[in-house]
Amino acid sequence: MSSITTHVGFIPETPNNPLYPGLIDALREVVDHCAERGLDFCFETGQETPVTLLRVIEDLGTEHLGINLDPANLLMYGKANPVDALDVFGEYVLGVHAKDGEYPTNGRELGVEKPLGEGRVGFPRLIAKLKDLGYAGALTIEREISGPRQVEDIKHAIEVLSALI
């Protein structure tokens, strides 16, 4: 099935937050709209913890939901170790961004994106765990810089990933 993937913003960490029920209602409307058109709706990881994302999927209660795992985002937002996050929501992963990064080093800025293999994601463990979960989808290389270095980093990412898959 085809999908649409997006960040939905900053989901409240607790379902007791007064904004949470309205968010679920709005997301249900969007997910239903996508499902009527033959699309899965995928949350891209980043701004929320894995448990919060799992709770949202459970509360929506639909089969047309998934996760686009961006392991670097989990690190760069300081939300989780991406390998461990798979223990929480791995069964819902429908897409993966191959991107690396670091945890934040201060309380005001995101962590830094790194060339694949130079950050903390741990791609050998991540790919092995994805395989154990039965994931057979794409690994979409994402390097959010521009210029010749971007091309070099993407070629390097292809080499690293090719050895792991």
Q: How crowded is residue 77: how many other Cβ atoms within 10 Å of its Cβ? A: 20
Quote the pTM value.
0.94
DSSP 90: G
Query: What CATH number corresponds to the domain at position 152?
Result: 3.20.20.150
Residue 124: its H or E element: helix 123-132
Structural domain harbouring 89:
2-164
Number of compact structural domains in the chain: 1
- Torsion, CA 116, CA 156, CA 123, CA 65, rounded to 10: 80
- Two tokens, residue 1: 């099935």
- pLDDT tens, position by position, 74-95: 999 999 999 999 999 999 999 9
- pLDDT tens, position by position, 136-165: 999 999 999 999 999 999 999 999 999 999
Phi and psi, residue 31, nearest 5°: -65, -45
Residues in Cβ contact with 111 at an 8 Å cutoff, skipping those fewer than 6 apart: 75, 76, 77, 78, 101, 102, 103, 104, 105
- One-letter identity of residue 45: T
CA distance 153 to 145: 10
Residues listed for the chain:
165
- pLDDT tens, position by position, 102-121: 999 999 999 999 999 999 99
